[in-house]
Amino acid sequence: MKLKNLHFLSKANIRGNKNSTVITVLVCLLVVAVTLVSGYSVVTVNALNNIKQSYEARAMSLSPQMGLLTDRVRGEISALEHVEVITDITGIRYCDMEIIDTDDEYIKNKIGKTETRLRIQGMNDGEQLRIIKGKSLDNAPVYSCLVPSIFYPFYDEDNIKMENLEYIDGRTLIGKNITVRGYDKKLHLTYFSPYTNDSGLPTWREISVPSSEFTLNVVGTYYCNPAYSGGYTRLYVSKETDLLITQTALEVNYDLKDKKDEVALWWNDPSLHEYLVVTDDYRNNSEVFNKVSKGMGYAISRFTEREIEDSLIILSNLLSKVGTFLTVAIVIVSVTLLVQSSSNAIREHKGFIGLMKAIGYKNRQIFTVLLWEQMYLSLRAFLIGGTVSTLAAFLINLKFEHGTFRQLMYLMDWKIYFSFLGLSALIVLLVPLGVELFMLKKLMQIEPREAMSTK
């Protein structure tokens, strides 16, 4: 049968199909459900899983607030089941920095016009970053650093939410130098004094020390996303560099060899330092927390830099369940309507089908006409639904790209999107085929003598 004749006959059947509009709407909804709802379900689930398995989400802060963290104590904690590593976090982790100079022209031109703000963090034991260009800090010289893939070292008081930031591509900074110092020329450090409080426990204190300038050389760029470790203002340095910066700042005001000075005593006594206890899996944090806090009586708390928001968990569960429900429900309703539509088409066009057989059309040709009718409806709806879904995903991505840093984790991965679009196309093609094959027996039972029968 010629394609022109096939198209003409199927279009004639569509005009008489009472369910054509409903089928079109349902298939459109199916495409939207599979691509958008299921796609964003995968995006949020992936983001949630990445956050859970990130180094910072598996880490908890351990302090000497409830007792000295001696070698024995740290050894007992590190021997607990599910504890992967204990790492000393003495350094400049919580210090705000400002850029004094750089050989990057874009940043240099903004110094003095815009307030610069960033943080420098030493790499912890067992911590891994995804390097997308350049090299890691392993074997790198002292005062080397890694910059985030999206870098924004500026602070705008008029943009408190930090939305629509013009991120710098961190890959363009490799090989360049950045000279920084503590914000307001100071480093704000915290420590635990060996001079105990009324309870006989170490006392938490805070000090501000003058910050000298130091120059960091960018050797690599790490992947920056809110679902992973790091941040758009955070530079990573080696632990050696971190301690050297801290020690240099302290030595301006303190003699770190003075055995009577509490800052010197803290600096030289690991039992007064703070640590991160890193588990092998986020789900095991509670178990380790209870063993350390309740079982051993030491001060351990959640590491607040990478808390998982309840809203993300709720959204992930909601999209997963809604996506599955909508897809299954729409497929069932679509199949039911297509079966009904095909059954009605065969019953209402029995005389027409009989006439086609009487003038020489074979069952496979008539089957092709009926299949083309359903395929035409489904493909038309797929094109409409696919266009709507793609446009919606593009606009949502556009909004998130110009939103906050946190919203970047919700960007639709186009590989995921087009995978689901392909899946929806497969469903749209296979469902009508399956329905028509199911109705083939009824088609074959119609005889040529029933030509133009109205019954």
Are 219 and 132 a contacting pair, CB within 8 Å? no
d(CA 99, CA 41): 40
Are 414 and 36 a contacting pair, CB within 8 Å? no
Structure-model confidence comparison of residues 359 and 185, the more confident one: 185
Are 188 and 174 a contacting pair, CB within 8 Å? no
Over range 97-124, report the average pLDDT.
93
Are 116 and 99 a contacting pair, CB within 8 Å? yes
d(CA 411, CA 357): 55
Query: How distant, in Å, are the alpha carbons of 24, 147, 340, 369, 372 from that of 21?
Result: 5, 55, 14, 19, 16
Counting residues of the chain whose pLDDT is more than 90, the rounded percentage is: 47
Counting residues of the chain whose pLDDT is more than 70, the rounded percentage is: 79
The pLDDT assigned to 165 comes to 86
**Which span out of 106-115, 235-244, 330-339 was modeled with the highest average pLDDT?**
235-244
d(CA 234, CA 250): 22
d(CA 41, CA 49): 12
pLDDT tier, 14 (very low <50, low <70, confident <90, very high otherwise): very low
Length of the chain: 455
pLDDT tier, 51 (very low <50, low <70, confident <90, very high otherwise): confident
Query: How distant, in Å, are the alpha carbons of 7, 351, 448 from that of 437?
Result: 20, 21, 21
What percentage of the chain's residues is helix, strand, coil (to nearest 5)? Answer: 50, 20, 30
Residue 8 above 90 pLDDT? no
Residue 50, judged by CB atoms within 10 A of its CB (0-12, 13-18, 19+), counts as: middle
Task: Tell if the pTM clears 0.85, that is, is over it.
Answer: no
Buried b / exposed e over 392-405, threshold 16 CB at 10 Å, is ebeebbeebeebeb
Over range 267-285, report the average pLDDT.
94
Q: In the 8-state DSSP scheme, what is residue 119?
A: E
d(CA 203, CA 274): 13
Residues sharing a CB contact under 8 Å with residue 447, sequence separation 6 or more, in sequence order: 354, 357
pLDDT tier, 318 (very low <50, low <70, confident <90, very high otherwise): confident
| Residue spans of beta strands (DSSP E) within 56-110 | 59-63, 83-88, 96-102
Sign of CA dihedral 353, 358, 359, 362: positive
Residue 84 above 60 pLDDT? yes
The pLDDT assigned to 378 comes to 81
The pLDDT assigned to 95 comes to 84
Residue 328 above 60 pLDDT? yes
Residue 395 above 50 pLDDT? yes
Find, among 295, 272, 268, 263, the residue nearest to 69 by Cα. Answer: 272
